[in-house]
Amino acid sequence: MAESPMNKPVPNDEDTDKEENIRCLTLLDHFGFECLPHQLVTKYMKEGFSFNILCVGETGIGKSTLIDTLFNTNSKEHKSSHFHSTVGLKIQAHELQEANVHLKLTVVKTVGYGDQINKEGSYRPIVDYLDAQFEAYLQEELKIKRSKYHDSRIHVCLYFISPTGHSLKSLDLITMKKIDHKVNIVPLIAKADTISKTDLPMFKSKIMSELAKQGIQIYQFPVDDDVTAQTNSLMKAQLPFAVVGSVEEVKVGRRTVRGRQYPWGVLQVDNENHCDFVRLRDMLLCTNMEDLKEQTHTLHYEHYRSVRLKQMGFSEVGPNNQPISFQEIYEAKRQEFAEQCLREEEQLKHKFMQRVKEKEIAFKETERELQEQFELLKRIQQEETMKLEEERRKLDEEIIEFYKMKAASESLQAQLKRDKERRK
Ligand code: GTP
Ligand code: MG
């Protein structure tokens, strides 16, 4: 029987040594782990897939039509007004099924993008939305008890460029620069039927060179897998995809095709010689959907996560530049937090005592002032009493004097009366 790696322990040296010590064994029997891919297929088929698309583009540029063309739906959406004071987002969820595969599709579209006179903050709602989905995912990861969670992180941003034939607008450059490290950007030339065959290659190369000049990172098609490498290299050469959308059915000879009818002929959206719609659809849904999701998780979310964890105070190395584990950081943070609480409690206590002392001094001062006022009033009242007493004494004396005078006058009158009678 083949020797299992478990029987021969791998020496615990450096990683490179470990790899050198891993032996390739020939299995002499059937073990069954060749069925692992089938198990995964069954699992994912049961769970279903989800895909989240963000469409950024000016009002009326053809976002809804292209999404309808991609998924063969007919949403018959109302046209947005051009008078929104700020940029908004419209979120729509769809359940799609192809053969036995279920796809939960979420499409987020900009509303009123490029309609404001001052376009300075037009990218803000888009950036906020992308961050909010990352934050929700991070919070879910940090939960102790996790529930069934629908991942709403955006896997691809279809950026609709106006078919001016000239160059990118400053709004395009600013927005793409702000979101290029948060989402996989796939640039599209919208309504490409309005650009002539000779102008299109020049317009495409102008856009690509402008993006490179501004250092804007767009989605890089994976080329490491032999099967997709060839397709993706061809796709890359076609960027930005010049797309035309239409769900209308048009007769071409005896065939009915999806296209746009013009006085001089029909543009077939599913014809690769007419536009890049099929290339976009294949790139998005057939070849790279899984890679777009993986890039979202391993590149963009990872970047957001590391920035957020650093903001929260986590890092990979300790104060002495030594690697430090999450547990150690957590313990250190907890300790630091407890010490900070203690310090703040002490400060609060100190402040409280200070306030009590200040109040005590203020109360004493008020008490002293009241006492002085009371003493003053008492003195005034005593003086008033003494004055009154004096006046009363004087009045008593005056009354006595009055009675004396009255008695004297009465006796004088009586004397006069007697003298008068005697004279009679
Ligand atoms: P809002 O949601 O209102 O911002 O617009 P939108 O970006 O979703 O554009 P929508 O798909 O509603 O298309 C606006 C108009 O452009 C419609 O009249 C479409 O028929 C037309 N249209 C859409 N795609 C194309 C295209 O590829 N070429 C041309 N020529 N017209 C198109
Ligand atoms: Mg629309």
pLDDT confidence bin for 276, thresholds 50/70/90: very high
pTM greater than 0.85 (yes/no): no
Q: Each residue of 89-138: pLDDT tens digit?
A: 999 998 888 888 888 999 999 999 988 888 888 999 999 999 999 999 99
Q: What is the mean pLDDT of residues 315-323?
A: 71
pLDDT confidence bin for 399, thresholds 50/70/90: very high
Q: What is the mean pLDDT of residues 265-273?
A: 90
What burial letters (b/e) apply to 296-314, b meaning 16+ CB within 10 Å?
beebbbeebbeeebeeeee
Distance between CA atoms of 248 and 194, rounded to whole angstroms? 18
The strand pairing partners of 96, in sequence order, are: 103
Burial class from Cβ neighbours inside 10 Å (0-12, 13-18, 19+) for residue 289 reads middle
Distance between CA atoms of 246 and 67, rounded to whole angstroms? 10
Q: Cβ distance 59 to 115 under 8 Å?
A: yes
Residue 374 CB coordination number (10 Å): 10
User: For ligand 1, is residue 162 a contact (CB within 6 Å)?
Assistant: no
Pick from 106, 132, 109: nearest CA to 52: 106
**Ligand with minimal distance to 193 CA:** 1
User: For ligand 1, is residue 280 a contact (CB within 6 Å)?
Assistant: no
Tracing tokens 């906020």 back to the chain, one arrives at 128
Tracing tokens 């322990």 back to the chain, one arrives at 9
**Ligand with minimal distance to 262 CA:** 1
Q: Give the pLDDT score at 404.
A: 95
Distance between CA atoms of 25 and 11, rounded to whole angstroms? 18
Distance between CA atoms of 223 and 230, rounded to whole angstroms? 7
Distance between CA atoms of 202 and 198, rounded to whole angstroms? 7
DSSP letter string over 307-352? HHHHHTT--SB-TTS-B--HHHHHHHHHHHHHHHHHHHHHHHHHHH
**φ/ψ of residue 165, rounded to 5:** 80, -5
Nearest residue (CA) to ligand 1, atom 28: 191
User: For ligand 1, is residue 110 a contact (CB within 6 Å)?
Assistant: no
pLDDT confidence bin for 18, thresholds 50/70/90: low
pLDDT confidence bin for 245, thresholds 50/70/90: very high
| Residue 221 DSSP code | P
Distance between CA atoms of 24 and 2, rounded to whole angstroms? 10
Q: Give the pLDDT score at 232.
A: 78
Spacing, Cα 16 to ligand 1 middle (Å): 57
3-state secondary structure of 22: coil
Output 250-257 pairs: Cβ under 8 A, ≥24 positions apart.
none
Nearest residue (CA) to ligand 1, atom 14: 60
User: For ligand 1, is residue 69 a contact (CB within 6 Å)?
Assistant: no
Q: Each residue of 184-240: pLDDT tens digit?
A: 999 999 999 999 989 999 999 999 999 999 999 999 888 877 777 877 778 888 889
Q: Give the pLDDT score at 334.
A: 86
Q: Give the pLDDT score at 72.
A: 86
Average pLDDT value for the chain: 88
Spacing, Cα 312 to ligand 1 middle (Å): 44
If DSSP states are collapsed to H, E and C, what string results for 259-292?
EEEECCEEEECCCCCCCCHHHHHHHHHHHCHHHH
Q: Cβ distance 116 to 86 under 8 Å?
A: yes
